[in-house]
Amino acid sequence: MNENIAPYIIKEINEIPMVLNRHLRSIHNIKYHKRDDFYNLKLRMDNFIEKKSDKRFFIMPGLRGVGKTTLLFQCYEYLIKQKDIPISDILYLSCDFINSISPTNIREIIETYLKTVHNTTPRLLNKPVFVFLDEVHYDKTWALNAKIIYDQSPNIFMIFTGSSSLHLNYNADTARRVVTYPILPLNYSQHLKLKYGYTSNISDNLINLIFKDEIESAQEKEEKINEDLINLQDYVESDWDDYFRYGSFCSTLNEIYKEDIISSLWSTISKIITNDIASVYNLNRISQENVYRVLLLLASQKPGQISQNKVASSLGKSTSTINHIFEILEKTQLLFHYQAYGGSNKKARKSWKYYIATASLKNSINEKFGNTSINQHDYNGILLENMIASTLFNLNQSQKIPRFNTYYDSSNGGVDFIIQKEFETAIPIEVGLGKKNNKQIKKAMNKFGSNHGILISNRTKKIEEKNGIVYITPKTFSFI
């Protein structure tokens, strides 16, 4: 038992119920709406309480600012207010803060809690308790320690949050015990639900539209949503444009000034680098500065214009150093890439296309540091490509559908993206603003033998299909 943290545990157990409203309400005292992830966790907690399932170990990896901590507090509130669980039977702690009090690990935290509050050990615990630990990546051995606790007691229900690389840090032994719920940046549907309490239910229809060319149900849902938004209280027409440039993060939903949003998003990036990345990967100050420089350089470029070798040359660093930084940024999912479509030789020869986690993060970096030197139209096109890339990446992480692969077309004048499920025909996707023609899509459909293609552009006002080409507005696509 770690006696140094015992008083802090007692203090938190007593204080959390008294400050719960502060964590679950906006500055205007409006209670936050719940995202779909909460209802998944609610079902899991109910099943544990009612002994319908032995699943009792869950992790929620995700970027800072996407709402992981709020989810934990919503689970906490649900247990005490709707399930009548005593506050002494719920432990919420933030590992980044407790680590500043005393070096410890999650096994010590849980054992100290049980000894101090319940006068027992994991093995002897004879009642259900709930342990919600935030930012567990500060314990580099969290997976092993969680496995030990899990194996010692069937009465401990655990939810852990951490950086996006959290799921990479456990072994096969732990993986058999844990259920992973990635908490992703907000799509536009989630944005509307959290900001206005509006539920759209169009995501599955759009997925079927893109992968199966099922158009009618998606058209009906889109028409209803557009009608609903006209009559939605407090909704303004510019809301989607603001989401496009500054959205995707719960932490900015209630900000009204653009400079505050940009500052908040940059703070998110800074904390990921100086807190999460630095602690997990033992980066010194100089290495952290190199990470900042790489991100700034990538944010200012169009995807595909710059490779790791070019970044190394531009920053005067070794290729191995830059490769390591790219690897870290991808593990934390501040960055992701797509490979060229084709056989293994083409994939090996062609450079990867890199994208920032969300268009809003890319935009916040550029606006903060004045990197937007090209004209507004071209810049919006680059942001839109990043948004579509992010949407496809997050869809793959969401576990809504069987995994699929996303590529870019490296041929001259090729389409922006190619998506393909295993053993199925490739589907080309082209992205653009203004009077985007369909020549590239037609060429790609013929080349890959595709049954249909997707053109995401503002040249159309609604979902429609002509000659096998499905036209979707950027706004509608962002509901996926």
Give 108-138 as a DSSP string: HHHHHHHHHHHS--TTT--S-EEEEEE-GGG
Residues 32 and 91 in one domain: yes
Burial 229-250 (b: 16+ CB within 10 A, else e): beeeeebeeebbebbbbbbbbb
Name the pairing type of β-strands 405-408 and 417-420: antiparallel
Question: What's the CA gap between 90 and 477, in Å, rounded?
Answer: 40
Q: Do residues 132 and 33 make contact, with C-beta atoms less than 8 angstroms apart? A: no
Take residue 399 and report the two structure tokens written for it: 């576990």
Residue 48, domain extent:
6-183
Q: Burial of 470 by CB count in 10 Å (0-12 exposed, 13-18 middle, 19+ buried)?
A: buried
Helix/strand/coil for 471: strand
Instruction: For residue 441, give every residue at least 6 positions away whose Cβ sits within 8 Å of its Cβ, in sequence order, or none.
Output: 415, 428, 430, 453, 454, 455, 469
Residues 133 and 209 in one domain: no
The number of beta carbons lying within 10 Å of the beta carbon of residue 56 is 23
Q: What is the model's pTM?
A: 0.91
Q: Is residue 391 part of a domain?
A: yes
Q: Going residue by residue through the chain (480 aa), what tens digit of pLDDT does each one get?
A: 667 889 999 999 999 999 998 888 876 677 889 999 999 999 999 999 999 999 999 999 999 999 999 999 999 999 999 999 999 999 999 988 787 777 789 999 999 999 999 999 999 999 999 999 998 988 888 999 999 999 999 999 999 998 877 666 667 777 888 999 999 999 999 999 999 999 999 999 999 999 999 999 999 999 999 999 999 999 999 999 999 999 999 988 888 899 999 999 999 999 889 888 877 777 888 889 999 999 999 998 888 777 888 899 888 999 999 999 999 999 889 999 999 998 877 777 888 999 999 999 999 999 998 876 678 888 999 999 999 999 999 999 988 888 999 999 999 889 999 999 988 999 999 998 876 678 899 999 999 999 999 999 988 899 999 999 999 999 999 999
CATH, residue 66: 3.40.50.300
Q: Is residue 295 part of a domain?
A: no
Q: Is residue 285 part of a domain?
A: no
Angle at 148 between CA 146 and CA 149, to 5 degrees: 65
Q: Is residue 114 part of a domain?
A: yes
Count of structural domains, the chain:
2
Q: Is residue 467 part of a domain?
A: yes
Closest CA to 198 of 206, 207, 190: 190
